[in-house]
Amino acid sequence: MKQYLLSVHFVEGAPAMSDEEVQVMFAETGRINDEMQAAGVWVFAGGLVSPESATVVRIDNGATTMSDGPFAETKEHLAGFWIIKCPDLDQALAWAEKCAAACGPIEVRPFDDLSQA
């Protein structure tokens, strides 16, 4: 079975969710996690704190540097993710549709075959 990354996107500048909307999103996400686990496709999932908390580590000519903030200057950031096992992309997209209904835009990407060796 192939593994897929379902990534949740946060769009900077989008209207903030109310506390009630956040609670509904968490409840729906939890329900989907339970459903994925029961179906045997769930591998791992996690949410991420804001990109401002990031530290970028670079090595250039043997020297390591560390800088605050996200790696890329962008308006969209990875907010969380699922790793799932599915027989094909169609099933991964079906799960992504459920996830998108719970928490917004979802990008689906298969892992390369080398990472599953």
Sites in the chain below the pLDDT cut of 70? 71-74, 115-117
Which residue range is the domain that position 15 belongs to?
A: 2-116
Instruction: Give me the amino acid identity at 35.
Output: E
Angle between helices 19-39 and 89-103 (to 10 degrees): 160
Q: In the structure encoding, which two tokens stand for residue 78, read together?
A: 């990875």
User: What is the rounded CA–CA span in Å between residue 38 and residue 98?
Assistant: 15
pLDDT at 17: 84
Q: How many independent structural domains does the chain possess?
A: 1
pTM for this one? 0.79
* CATH number of 37's domain: 3.30.70.1060
Tell me, what's the pLDDT at 55?
A: 87
User: Within 10 Å of residue 56's Cβ, how many Cβ atoms?
Assistant: 12
- pLDDT (0 to 100) of residue 117: 53
User: To which residue do tokens 């509904």 refer?
Assistant: 24
Cα 29 from Cα 12, distance rounded (Å): 21
